[in-house]
Structure 1
Amino acid sequence: MSEKAKRSGRRTLATKRENLIAGLWGDELEELNIWSRHEHDGFTTLPRTLTYINRILDFLGGSGSPLSQTYLALWCRVFDEGFVEIRDKEAFAYESGFSGQRAVTTWSGRMKKLKELGFILTKPGTSGEFQYVIILNPFPVIKNIYENKEKDERYNALVGRMQEVGAKWE
């Protein structure tokens, strides 16, 4: 499918959604304070399958070591190049759900696991081991992890959602 056809299809779907919203909320719509990436700053691009990826990450992290909050914190800071610069480990630990004396240590452990599993690449800097981070495409990483293991409900749910949104493994 050409890029022009894809854009046209997206516009058609957007128009359908706008019409549905107008039909459901009608006169109220003008009074609602709806968040729009076209009018507000502070947005990033996230995979529509992120919730499914996070379920897999929490499973791979093992009991008592969920990885999804740390992964989400990275995605909330990523730029279009897939790059995150971490200058404040305490802030990242907090955003990942950790507080107290061991917050940074716990966060560092989750970052090591994400790196070990192949979801991120890191380079050290003056702020520590994880100052520079590249978030890799999670689909080939997950495909590789599941290559020699039984496909469970988490994997199958991801495959189903990928079909819905048109995501590809590569």
Structure 2
Amino acid sequence: MSKRKDLLQGLWGGELDELKIWNRHDHDGYTTVPRTLTYINRILDYLAGTGSPLSQTYLSLWCRVFDEGFIEIRDKESFAYESGFSGQRAVSTWTVRMRKLKELGFITTKPGASGEFQYVLLLNPLSVIQKIYENKDKDERYNALLGRMQEVGAKWE
């Protein structure tokens, strides 16, 4: 890590003290996401099929989750908006995407007073993808994810 700090110092020098850099340890309102999330999202959109991308809905869940992987959804409209949906069909479109995420195994849910998705648990996406591809040809999306996992030291389990 000190090599990276040295590189930062070498590139930006004294400017670093004046620049506002995001640091999740110093600022509230941030979360930890997998470094492989962009690759996971590519696979999700592929698995969803044409015209029904899942990545924005999945990203909105990651932006709300804490380290235990649990989300309580009381305001479906906000989640629908964060997922990119607006208008009269926003919540129903969001609900379809959530059902697909559940069907694929990326989330597990329990109903509550606010509906079928009040309680959501995000499952390890790498484990889910590994299982999906067990009996499937490994395509460029899978191979790209595998390469990125090697770069960042991620493991399937």
TM-score norm. by structure 1 comes to: 0.90
Deviation readout 1:86-132 (Å, 9 max, x if unpaired): 00000000001111110000000000000000000000111111000
SS at match of 2:85: coil
The residue correspondences of 1:75-90 to structure 2 (distance < 5 A) are: 75-90=62-77
SS at match of 1:122: strand
Q: Which residue of 2 aligns with 1:36?
A: 23
1:145 aligns with 2:132: yes
Q: Distance in 2 between matches of 1:21 and 1:68?
A: 32
Among candidates 42, 49, 62, match of residue 55 of structure 1: 42
Among candidates 93, 106, 112, match of residue 119 of structure 1: 106
1:73 aligns with 2:64: no
Query: Counterpart of 2:22 in structure 1: which amino acid?
Result: W
Q: Which residue of 2 aligns with 1:156?
A: 143
1:130 aligns with 2:117: yes
SS at match of 2:47: helix
TM-score norm. by structure 2 comes to: 0.98
Work out whether residues 111 and 119 of structure 2, in 8 Å CA contact, stay in contact via their aligned partners in 1. yes
1:100 aligns with 2:69: no
User: Which structure has more helix as a fraction of its residues?
Assistant: 1
Q: Distance in 2 between matches of 1:76 and 1:62?
A: 24
Aligned residues: 157
SS at match of 2:53: coil
Q: Which runs of 5+ in 1 are unaligned?
A: 1-12
Q: Distance in 2 between matches of 1:22 and 1:158?
A: 31
Q: Distance in 2 between matches of 1:166 and 1:158?
A: 12
Q: CA RMSD in A?
A: 0.8
SS at match of 1:19: helix
Work out whether residues 24 and 31 of structure 2, in 8 Å CA contact, stay in contact via their aligned partners in 1. no
